[in-house]
Amino acid sequence: MDGKTVYYLPYRGEGEESFYKRVAETAEAQGWWDFLQPRQLVGVKTHFGEEGTEGFVSPFFFKLLASSLKKRKVLGFLTETATLYTGHRSNAVEHLQLAYRHGFTYDEVGLPLIMADGLTGDEDVIVPIKGKFYTHVKIASQVAKANALIVVSHMTGHALSGYGGAVKNLGMGCASRKGKLSQHAVAQPVIKTKKCKGCGLCLRWCPRGAIRLEGEKAFIQKEVCIGCGECLTVCRNGAVGFDWGETYERFQEKLTEYAWGVTQALRGKLFYITFLMKVTKDCDCMPAPLSRIVEDMGAVAGRDPIAVDSAALDLVERKAGRPLSEIAHAVPYRVQIEYAKELGFGQPDYRLVEL
Ligand code: SF4
Ligand code: SF4
């Protein structure tokens, strides 16, 4: 399989479990795992979903994947990293407890769970790159030490990166906490006091304790804020704004450089599957009732994360009949793809093979 090839498995309404079975059988039939060798330590990177979310890829799929890896005598493990925000995934203990509640147990899936960045998200490996922003990136240790990585993503919209797919799963999802901080440090929010209802939700999600209530209104201490954007995403009253200027682009370029660094650490031994099911406006970090922005569409897979993301976006937009910025967040959303091409990290031109 060359990097240009992106496999597309359309969802035919057969039910989720049947669809996951078809993906797993297709993976075997098409030799997606032929690049793996017996006894290699292979990470399976996914998102276990924040408390209250439902869009994450089902443990059932990973059970099927585990079975394929075991047949090949591959030593697979599920892996994730800590979040910056103070939800239920900011340290390994709470993160694993949540993953177990969502069904990602060894009994259920058959893969051990190993937090890639340690107990508190600070264990990383420095990977040199030649980017515009970075000469080196800080990648979660256990991802960098793996022999190969299978990146299983859930396509969503995203308030800062426009969309979340393979590149985001790599760049943000495989960065240590310091790496995540560095990517986010580009802009700061402002509270629109007329709209703020003083509900306090943003205080609970702010990873830095940068927000306090003054009277009935949120107030941000600018010297403490790291510009992570969690308050923007979590506020349901439209009371947080960002003076982004060019920072959507800068954030996404930094994210892309981090993703590039992960692929360099793994010397190209990666494979990507992105599910276009339960596509929501926000990513699986946001605890919101499931609300699809487009019908369930299936999955795309390939060896080039840029080709896979590009195909995923095109398919979603074709189905919706509108650009992603009209059905999710009105932000520039193809920067990851365009910048990756400029870096020589991947190619957005793909050959879609429908299976
Ligand atoms: S979440 Fe929004 S409405 Fe609630 S306190 Fe924060 S800014 Fe105000
Ligand atoms: S952008 Fe700043 S104020 Fe908002 S959640 Fe992040 S650190 Fe807190």
Binning pLDDT at 50, 70 and 90, where does residue 244 land? low
Atom from ligand 2 closest to the CA of residue 208: 7
- The token pair at 343 is 């870096």
Q: Mean pLDDT across the stretch 188-215?
A: 91
- Per residue in 307-318, pLDDT (tens digit) is 999 999 999 999
| Nearest to 233, CA basis, from 209, 273, 253, 206 | 206
- Per residue in 252-288, pLDDT (tens digit) is 999 999 999 999 999 989 999 999 999 998 888 877 7
- Per residue in 31-40, pLDDT (tens digit) is 999 999 999 9
208 in ligand 2 pocket by Cβ < 6 Å?
yes
Q: Which of 160-164, 210-214, 233-237 has the lowest mean pLDDT?
A: 233-237
211 in ligand 2 pocket by Cβ < 6 Å?
yes
Gap from CA of 180 to ligand 2 centroid (Å): 13
Average per-residue pLDDT for the chain: 92
Gap from CA of 226 to ligand 2 centroid (Å): 6
User: Do the Cβ atoms of 116 and 81 come closer than 8 Å?
Assistant: yes
Percent of the chain surpassing pLDDT 70 = 98
The DSSP element (H or E) to which 144 belongs, if any, is helix 141-145
The DSSP element (H or E) to which 136 belongs, if any, is strand 136-140
- Per residue in 150-164, pLDDT (tens digit) is 999 999 999 888 999
Pocket mutation for ligand 1, best pick of 201, 216, 217 (most atoms within 8 Å of C-beta): 201
Q: How many residues does the chain have?
A: 355
pLDDT above 70 (res 245): no
In the prediction, which pLDDT does 52 show?
87
Q: Mean pLDDT across the stretch 198-224?
A: 91
Q: Is 225 helix (H, G, I), strand (E, B) or coil?
A: coil
In the prediction, which pLDDT does 129 show?
96
Query: DSSP characters for 145-206?
Result: HSSEEEEEEE-EEETTTEEESHHHHHHTTTB-HHHHHHHHTT--EEE-TTT-----HHHHH-
pLDDT above 90 (res 57): yes
What pTM, to 2 d.p., does this model score? Answer: 0.86
Burial of 219 (0-12, 13-18, 19+ CB in 10 A): middle
Domains belonging to the chain, first-starting first, are 5-182+247-354 (3.40.50.11440), 188-242 (3.30.70.20)
Which residues are within 8 A (CB) of 279 and not within 5 positions of it... i.e. 6 or more apart? 55, 155, 156, 157, 292, 293, 294, 296, 297, 316
Percent of the chain surpassing pLDDT 90 = 74
Which residues are within 8 A (CB) of 347 and not within 5 positions of it... i.e. 6 or more apart? 3, 4, 304, 306, 307, 341
Binning pLDDT at 50, 70 and 90, where does residue 243 land? low
